[in-house]
Chains A and B, each alone.
Chain A
Amino acid sequence: MKFAVIQFPGSSCDLDLYHAVKDVLGEEAEYVHHHETDLSAYDAILLPGGASYGDAVRAGALARTTPVMDAVIRAAEAGKPVLGVGNGFQVLTEAGLLPGAFLKNRDQKFICRTVKVQVVNNRTMFTSEYTEGEELDIPVAHGEGNFYCDEETYGQLKENNQIVFVYADGNPNGSVGDIAGLVSEKGNVLGMMPHPERAAESILGSEDGLNVFKSIVKEWRESHANQA
């Protein structure tokens, strides 16, 4: 399985994502520059964390205008797995691939620590290797992780089971409904503020994030075995 790791100016978690899928899981991975316009060679797209464009204008607002994002939108429409972590999640909302938007953290501080994250929905292509209700130790690192959507949207997210991860031990940033991660209506686009790539090996203090990537690989293998 071949992963694309998108690189925007200012991305800083690109190497960690690459390491998780390439070195830890042994899958193929390539860095893809934000001026690229074709992602047809890749089976899954990863949008990294780190303040793209220094968070100028709004987190993710400028990255969203780069040529590669048109290709990311096409890949999402084609049903390929698209995962955005941290700033990658912010880019996905700016691009309209996920609903809502991000505000500054409730307490005004940049937060960088490991939090408890609960798996609310394990019936997605990103979470099938988890059990429902499982609690994970995964770090967050963000200044604008305060997810906001209006009540109507929140109701739809709940009804469609689009809320995949919630903060389980206190809400660090003020996000609506304790939301830490959510999928698109079709289920193939996941945005999450916790960084699974920073919890992908025991030497990092936690392996609890690795199953996100394992789930993607497993689901892809199974769907392609059926096609063969």
Chain B
Amino acid sequence: MKKANVYVTLRESVIDPQGTAAINVLHAKGHDNVKDVRIGKYIELTIEDTGQDLDTAVREMCEKLFVNTNVEDYRYEVLEVEEA
């Protein structure tokens, strides 16, 4: 089995409403040294290893479903996992 961990965040050019709300709270709590907060999504895909090109498959899953590339960026890593 393989596991693909996908990280989705809003693009740098897009104001993150959740991050903005969070940083205001952090500053109010005295964490003045926090300069930016970006809140995103983390997706774990467990994929049967059939020898196919996982990079192509994961990219397609991201761009057709998990990520709206108008406003979001993503990165991912593919890991081997032990058979249960």
Partner-B contacts on A (CB < 8 A):
57-58, 61-62, 65, 93-94, 99-101, 103-108, 146, 148-150, 174
Contact = CB atoms under 8 A, between A and B. Distances in A.
Interface stretch (B30-38, B47-55, B63-71): B63-71
Highest count of chain A CB atoms <10 Å: which of B10, B64, B66, B68: B68
B18 interface: yes
A94 B63 CA distance: 11
Contacts of B65: 57, 61-62, 65
Nearest to A61: B65
Given A103-B10, A150-B13, A108 B68 contact: no
B14 interface: yes
Contacts of A100: 70
A6 B73 CA distance: 31
Given A103-B15, A150-B13, 9 more contacts: A93-B70, A94-B68, A99-B70, A100-B70, A101-B70, A103-B10, A103-B71, A146-B17, A148-B14
Nearest to A153: B70
The 6 closest A-B pairs by CB, nearest first: A101-B70, A101-B71, A104-B17, A101-B68, A108-B21, A106-B17
B17 A103 contact: yes
Given A57-B66, A148-B70, A105 B13 contact: no
A105 B71 contact: no
B21 A58 contact: no
B62 to A, nearest CB: 11
A155 to B, nearest CB: 15
B44 to A, nearest CB: 14
Given A57-B65, A61-B65, A103 B70 contact: no
A98 to B, nearest CB: 11
A65 B14 CA distance: 25
Contact of B68 (A61, A146, A174): A61
B46 to A, nearest CB: 17
Interface string B1-28: 0000000001001111110010000000
Contacts of B17: 103-108, 146, 174
Contacts of A148: 14, 70-71
Nearest to B70: A101
B9 to A, nearest CB: 12
Contacts of A104: 17-18
B43 to A, nearest CB: 9
B42 to A, nearest CB: 13
A65 B21 CA distance: 32
Contacts of A105: 17
A57 B6 CA distance: 13
Nearest to B21: A108
19 contacts: A57-B66, A61-B65, A61-B68, A99-B70, A100-B70, A101-B68, A101-B70, A101-B71, A103-B14, A103-B16, A104-B17, A105-B17, A106-B17, A107-B17, A107-B21, A146-B17, A148-B71, A149-B70, A174-B15
